[in-house]
Amino acid sequence: MSGQPRIAPSILSADFSKLGDDIAMCESGGADWIHIDVMDGRFVPNLTFGAKVIETVRKRTALTLDVHLMVVEPEKYFDDFAAAGASLLTIHAEAAPHLHRQLNRIRELGCRAGVALNPATPLDAVSEILPELDLLLIMSVNPGFGGQKFIPYSVDKIRRARLMLDEARSNAALEVDGGINRDTISSVWEAGADTFVAGNAIFSAKDPKAEIGVLRGLCGVTV
Ligand code: DX5
Ligand code: ZN
């Protein structure tokens, strides 16, 4: 792998009574992106938030807002989320049969476009549309909740995803999401991921601000 690791704290595990402070904490701790998990209670068995929260976070930071749509019919939200200040919209291949059209629509709206794959979904789901991808998100838990256990065989999937992107000369970010913590981050960095979502590991740490640097340090890169 090359380049610097990106750490993307997931605000799913933030304290919503002080969301603005938590965003500022992530920023001063050196977070690269802020990861925003949108769930609709249909694609996944949980409900979170929509455009209003994206807009609120956008007012507090200039960082990349990495919006992960765990929803059916994601195209219904593109316009509102782009207008709210999303930088990157990632949709699930399992929920989006017309990926080519949808990724292009995201880009037309001025956002970068990503595709997420559930643990059971093969990499083949994106092999025909690699030129359209700004980001490939490999789920290392079944989406829906924070604080779940990392699925160990995700490491091999990330290794194969890295090869697939390199062979296609793709510059897409390779992101991993779910169960990333002090014990798991170095294996996925070594496998070729470059962007790491972490919710529970950061917000439940004794010192959440410092934890961002600890996770980055475990990727073996000095910054
Ligand atoms: C899970 C979400 C994740 C979640 C990760 O469905 O997509 O982004 O916040 O949380 P942790 O890091 O606690 O596994
Ligand atoms: Zn996520």
How far is it, in rounded angstroms, from Cα 221 to Cα 26? 19
- Beta bridge partner(s), residue 112: 88
**Residue 191: enclosing H or E segment and its boundaries?**
helix 185-191
Q: Which of 222, 211, 219, 221 shows the shortest CA–CA distance to 30? A: 211
N- to C-terminal Cα separation, the chain: 16
Angstrom distance (rounded) from CA 196 to CA 24: 19
Return the ligand 1 atom nearest residue 12 CA.
9
pLDDT tens for 89-123 read 999 999 999 999 999 999 999 999 999 999 999 99
Atom of ligand 1 nearest to the CA of 46: 6
- How confident is the model at residue 220, as a pLDDT? 77
Q: How far apart are CA 143 and CA 140, in angstroms?
A: 9
Residue closest via CA to ligand 1's atom 10 equals 146
Atom of ligand 1 nearest to the CA of 181: 12
Is the sign of the CA dihedral 170, 172, 178, 180 positive or negative? positive
Asked if 43 contacts 71 with a C-beta cutoff of 8 angstroms, the reply is yes
pLDDT at 222: 47
Nearest CA to ligand 1 atom 9: 146
Residues with a known catalytic role:
37, 177
Name all residues whose Cβ lies below 6 A of ligand 1: 10, 12-13, 35, 37, 68, 141, 143-148, 177-180, 197-201
How does pLDDT run along the chain (223 residues), one tens digit per residue? 457 899 999 999 999 999 999 999 999 999 999 999 999 999 999 999 999 999 999 999 999 999 999 999 999 999 999 999 999 999 999 999 999 999 999 999 999 999 999 999 999 999 999 999 999 999 999 999 999 999 999 999 999 999 999 999 999 999 999 999 999 999 999 999 999 999 999 999 999 999 999 999 999 764 4
pLDDT digits (tens, 9 = 90+) for 182-209: 999 999 999 999 999 999 999 999 999 9
Residue tagged 């997931």 (tokens): 10
Range 93-101, long-range pairs (CB < 8 A, 24+ positions): 93/117, 93/121, 93/125, 93/126, 94/43, 94/118, 94/121, 94/125, 95/43, 95/69, 95/70, 95/71, 99/126, 99/129, 99/132, 100/129, 100/132
